[in-house]
Amino acid sequence: MKNLTDFIFVIPNAMPHELCDMLLEEYQTDAGFEPARVGNGLVFDALDDNIRKCEILHISEKDVMQKNAFVRERLDMAVFGCVANALKYYQERVPTAAIQKDLGYDLLRYKEGGFFAEHIDSSAQTPRAIACSFGLNEGFDGGEFAFFGGEYVVQVPKGSAVMFPSNFMYPHAVTPVSNGIRYSIVTWFFNMKIEAKSNCPLDGFKPCRQLECAWFMKIRGSNPNTGDEVDDWGCSIVWMPILMIENAQQQRQTGAAVESFRNEMVRANEVGHQVLVAAAEQRGLS
């Protein structure tokens, strides 16, 4: 018979130390950190430093990404790879953990005195299935995961990850940090399958007429969100967000190319000017 602790795993070497350092170098001075909120059983929308005392930065959110998009998008992809490997590790040991996707990545900062009282991670509004937390640094005391009223305590060293179910059977706390600052990346997985209905808002939400409708068209290319190849029929309204994202990406790439060309022309003009000045000096014309 399995015990509850059999579903709690500390995964060593889940994230390279170099990536941990790069994440902290990029984000630890970001002005977007804010006090982390707690839930009331329905939503996570209250501030109470008697329950949770730490700061959070939602590093997967668009406005945070765009502060330094070139670097942060690549860091996000690197974190995604680590999360995917950690999930594979967990599912090899718990094959019944059927997961659809993660919920994005949060950077948590526990300063001295920071803690999170015992809680569970899932709510009616946010039905999480599995929690995953990566340790990013050393040089602090405290900050362990304490499960079941402190009966089972685990440490998450730098580069390691802890994974466990998010349901009511796994109440846990983060013990107070007594010295230093504790950083971690946290995400959650859920197993709800979301299926969009094919009801047309232009026809009284009746079932889509498909090829009988002039707006039903075929798209070929790559999905800008996932990179997956697309070769399928669908409603123009459904395709519109994907096409808008693709258009925005193309505009950014065009803008970057124009800026790069402009910079090259400026440098070429500077070099040309320096050559003319040098030639003039040699001829005694300056």
Residue extents of the structural domains in the chain: 4-190, 199-282
Give phi and psi for 52, each to the nearest 5.
-140, 125
List pLDDT tens digits, range 69-105: 999 999 999 999 999 999 999 999 999 988 878 889 9
| More confident: 61 or 266 | 61
Topology adopted by domain 4-190: Jelly Rolls (2.60.120)
Q: What percentage of the chain has pLDDT greater than the value 90? A: 55
Asked if residue 28 has pLDDT above 80, the reply is: yes
Give phi and psi for 239, each to the nearest 5.
-70, -25
Cα gap 161→122, rounded to integer Å: 19
> What pLDDT does 245 receive?
73
Mean pLDDT of the chain: 87
Residue 2 forms beta bridges with which residues? none
| More confident: 89 or 204 | 89
Contacts of 56 (CB under 8 A, 6+ apart): 33, 34, 35, 36, 37, 106, 107, 108, 109
Q: How confident is the model at residue 134 (pLDDT cuts 50, 70, 90)?
A: very high
Query: Taking a C-beta distance cutoff of 8 angstroms, is the pair 23, 57 a contact?
Result: no
| More confident: 44 or 215 | 215
Q: How confident is the model at residue 276 (pLDDT cuts 50, 70, 90)?
A: confident
List pLDDT tens digits, range 146-175: 999 999 999 999 999 999 999 999 999 999
Q: How confident is the model at residue 193 (pLDDT cuts 50, 70, 90)?
A: low
Cα gap 100→12, rounded to integer Å: 24
Cα gap 184→179, rounded to integer Å: 16
Which secondary-structure segment (H or E) carries 244?
helix 236-282
- Tell me which of 135-144, 147-156, 226-235 is least confident: 226-235
Contacts of 202 (CB under 8 A, 6+ apart): 215, 237
Average the pLDDT over 48-72 and give the result: 94
| More confident: 283 or 176 | 176
Cα gap 42→52, rounded to integer Å: 17
Phi-psi region at 150: left, alpha or beta (left = phi > 0; alpha = psi -120 to 50) = left
Average the pLDDT over 131-136 and give the result: 98
> What pLDDT does 213 receive?
85
Specify the residue for token string 């009223």.
149
